[in-house]
Amino acid sequence: MNAPELWKRYQASLCRVPALDVSLDVSRMGFDDDAIARMRPAFDRAFAAMDELEKGAVANPDENRMVGHYWLRSPELSPTPEIAAEIAETLDAVAAFAAKVHSGEVKPQRKPRFTRVLSIGIGGSALGPMFVADALGSPKADRLHAHFIDNTDPDGIARELERIGPALDETLVVVMSKSGGTPETRNGMLVVAEAYRKAGLDFAKHATAVTGEGSKLDQTVAKEGWLARFPMWDWVGGRTSETSAVGLVPGLLQGLDMKGLLDGAAAMDRATRVHDVAKNPAALLALSWYLATDGRGAKDMVVLPYKDRLLLFSRYLQQLVMESLGKRLDLEGNRVDQGISVYGNKGSTDQHAYVQQLRDGVDNFFVTFLRVLEDGGDGREVEPGVTPGDYLHGFLLGTREALFANDRRSVTITVDRVDAQTVGALIALFERAVGLYATLVNVNAYHQPGVEAGKKAAASVLEIQDKARAALTAQPRTADQVAEAVGAADSAETVYLVLEHLAANGRARMSRGANPGLTTFQAV
């Protein structure tokens, strides 16, 4: 295709959302002219399913739940007045609490004001807030400096506490867990609470929670008298929770424009309800994914934002896309092994990383470019008439062209700037695209059986660890012998691995043999 033909195709295929200054270019995805017409019956079903979801239908049949993240930014669309009232009341309550924190009316035990906020969560309770904090935050403008603990890695927790340092006594902690029993979040909370105790501080006087009503965490909040508690509803999944209290609490405490984010999401929701694929950017994205991957995840999605503020967007999208679409079974119980793998970093860093393979290596991907028109910074020229932003934009267009010249497909999303409204719009755009694509491939986008299976497997490992550690004596034993002693003969490998870990942390003794089968373990 020559340049004039490409220009015509670009103009014909560009989908714009004027209210948001957002556009989607699919001209380089290799659509044939009748692709949209051919897929129209499938999209009619997807649009209908989405309409029913927004009206309150049970869209997550495995858990018999409604799926209501779209109501969070448009409460008037909620299926009941009670839900609409809860959403509005929660937003007001979070905003009022943040205002009291900023004014010093709600203050820490010893200091006149909170200056930092530490969010403890995992998965959707961390990736969304972290992305938004980084995208919209400013060291000079933030009301509270943001910190995050998003794992059960003790070294990672210790490092974040070191970053906080002596400011622990002016740090407000937000613990986020729907059930209150999520191990990673619980462990982070316990370690942080102990740090407060060691500093002579009452953790409850520095803590808030976002959790389900009646959860273990909710009970702890009530018993210990924490500063506040905000709801996490069962009709909002973790990976679609950024416009709920999960995102609102840390965002408003940081001082971010979360109302603008909600407004941007609501505006994109309106634009993506249109039952016309060519005029609906989420539908065009879903169509792009379907055609690029043959509707079965045959290619990976590479996310390349050419803006440092959007660095964490690819991590956010990894969970949103992969946890939603990565399913072994379809809605009828047939094995389909669906999913789309997502990875990415940022431009132009990737000019010096994996773009070489993207252009010249295995053709197992399609790219999603994120193009931001406004440079930011001070506009300084590094050459006559050329700014660093010009270079960045040039690298984006050059990479897009180089990939296309080698028959590599790409989508380009263009926004004017990275602000709260834009970030909300991007979140809503991909949420809707995931939902539509899931209907096209007939999977449940709103459950996560693989994640639950991993949690159960981890629990069984810890049970074996407890038994193996209790079985250690002064007499050296191999992993096979310990496994036999605890009735886990079929799990000798797991026994070896957990004992090796215990030994590395001073909780067992190990004498390495010529191979793992000859290595012995003893009690400390």
Residues marked as catalytic: 323, 352, 455
- Taking every pair of C-alpha atoms in the chain, what is the biggest distance, in angstroms? 80
Residue bearing tokens 């010529």:
514
Token pair of 177 as six digits: 């867990």
**Terminal-to-terminal C-alpha distance of the chain:** 71
d(CA 237, CA 417): 28
CB atoms within 10 A of CB 378: 7
At a CB cut-off of 8 Å and minimum separation 6, what does 395 contact? 306, 347, 348, 351
Query: Is 18:281 a contact under the CB 8 Å cutoff?
Result: no
Residue bearing tokens 């976002």:
210
Token pair of 311 as six digits: 């660095």
> Partners of 65 in the beta sheet?
60
d(CA 478, CA 476): 7
Question: What does 15-58 look like in DSSP terms, one character per residue?
Answer: EEETTTTEEEE-TTS---TTHHHHHHHHHHHHHHHHHHHHHT-E
At a CB cut-off of 8 Å and minimum separation 6, what does 408 contact? 358, 359, 363, 365, 366, 367
Token pair of 176 as six digits: 């986020």
Query: Is 441:338 a contact under the CB 8 Å cutoff?
Result: yes
* Residue 378 C-alpha from the chain's centroid: 31
Query: Is 336:444 a contact under the CB 8 Å cutoff?
Result: no
> Partners of 120 in the beta sheet?
149, 175
CB atoms within 10 A of CB 481: 16
To 5 degrees, how large is the angle CA 455–CA 457–CA 459? 70
For residue 132, how many C-alpha atoms fall within 13 Å in the half-sphere facing its CB? 36
Q: For the chain, what's the residue count?
A: 524
Reported in sequence order, the residue ranges of 360-426 that DSSP labels E, i.e. its strands, are: 365-372, 410-415
SS3 284: helix
State whether the Cα torsion 106-111-112-117 is positive or negative.
negative
d(CA 14, CA 27): 7
Give the relative orientation of helices 124-136 and 313-325 as an angle to the nearest 10 degrees: 150
d(CA 399, CA 306): 11
3-state secondary structure 58-100: EEECCCCEECCHHHHHCHHHCCCHHHHHHHHHHHHHHHHHHHH
